[in-house]
Structure 1
């Protein structure tokens, strides 16, 4: 499977530069293009939330439309400026399909249905780490993980390096982790180094636990990927998510690959969990699939 279409969703007031930088690193290795989709509520969606608060008339609708248009123009100008700084083509009239360039699109509506529709005709969705001050970021990550059906790359800090330099795979044999590996073989094949880590939970003895990481390494070899297998012992008082991030940092990982929400989101919200901890605390790119 080739990864040729990388989607960066953005919206009013957001700075997509971190996601664009990550996308550029990947696209140059994958011969992919970057699709930036600006998503903003249309007048009808804004009015639905304002109807009980302020009188709605033609002037209000015009002001909303103008505000959205101005936000889109500002976003487009910012992306064009980024392209100029990075020497990347912006909306070229004609370009090779395996060339790296940026396309821009503007879509009106709620984030969830728009991102679901657009994400399903791209190969990888690249989103920001959720920021409570920017509701779009949390909605985009949730939609990408639970509705799109494509791998999601979450960016939590500026990417100044090649994310494929050293990929650490968190492997527990779950369905979610299996989907992630299957959908990401192309990315993993491009990685300079791959390490497979299985973090023991300490919930009970399992004579097969120590073979989990080695099993995946054996599978990856059939795809031309040589990976190192590591089993982390359970540490009392340290959640598995914290152990994975600590080990990834210790090994100077450039990306963590993780099957997302092996347990339900409700359970993770109430009791904590690996995915929740990683999403809230990761400072390196995290590749996920549910």
Structure 2
């Protein structure tokens, strides 16, 4: 699967700079375009959440609409400034589709349906790690993983200058990890180094790292295999992140929520640990 359309969803009060940087560092080697979608609730959605707190009159609706317009204008100006700073064309230039450029769209409504539809006509959705102070970030990650059907990249604290320097794949043979590999072959082709790590758990013999390395070789990708000696449970996530740190991985790739989200929330799990603690970008699929 080619990765040509990278989606960066954003909203009022959200700074997308780190995600734009990540999109650019993927976009240039992949000849992909960066689509920035500004998603803001319409007056009806804002008022629904404020029912009984403010009068629902024309002045209130006007104030909400004006606030959204101002936020959108500020966000677009910030994107244009980023494009100028990074040497990225704003809007299509000369009709060339093999160049990296940024586009801007404004959408009104709830995050989930907007991001679902926009993500399904994109190849990769780039989101922030969930931040309780900004509910949009958690809603965006959940929607990207569970509703879009495309790979999701979560950007954490740092964005390595070369995202494709060393991609580390956490492999367990799950359906989720299999989907991710199938949807990311183009990206793995561009990586300078690929490592497949497999945690030695009670299901270790069901899927070996060497098998995936053999499959990747058929696609022209030479990958190293590594085994992590660790027990089952949340400690697997910590072991994977520690291995990524030791190997100076620039990106981690794993299937997300192999177990149910309820189980991971109650008992902990690999995905939950990685989402909460990963410093480098994480490529995921469910």
TM over 0.5: yes
Paired position in structure 2 for 1:225: 221
Paired position in structure 2 for 1:55: 55
Paired position in structure 1 for 2:186: 186
Residue 95 of structure 1, CA deviation = 3.1
Change (3 A) 1:232 1:160: closer
Structure 2: unaligned runs, 5 residues or longer: none
Structure 1: unaligned runs, 5 residues or longer: none
Change (3 A) 1:237 1:216: closer
- Structure 1-normalised TM-score? 0.96
C-alpha separation in 2, matches of 1:265 and 1:237: 14
Paired position in structure 1 for 2:140: 140
User: What secondary structure does 1:144 align onto?
Assistant: helix
Taking only aligned residues, the RMSD between alpha carbons, in angstroms, comes to 1.4
Paired position in structure 1 for 2:276: 280
Residue 225 of structure 1, CA deviation = 0.3
Paired position in structure 2 for 1:96: 96
Change (3 A) 1:80 1:22: same
Please give the per-residue CA displacement for 1:213-262, whole angstroms capped at 9, x wherever unaligned: 00000000000000001111115997000000000100000000000000
- Structure 2-normalised TM-score? 0.97
Please give the per-residue CA displacement for 1:187-227, whole angstroms capped at 9, x wherever unaligned: 011100000000122x47x6x26x61000000000000000
Please give the per-residue CA displacement for 1:105-128, whole angstroms capped at 9, x wherever unaligned: 000000000000000000000011
Paired position in structure 1 for 2:230: 234
C-alpha separation in 1, matches of 2:168 and 2:160: 18
User: What secondary structure does 1:65 align onto?
Assistant: helix
C-alpha separation in 1, matches of 2:189 and 2:45: 43
The yes-or-no answer on 1:213 pairing with 2:209 is yes
Paired position in structure 2 for 1:40: 40
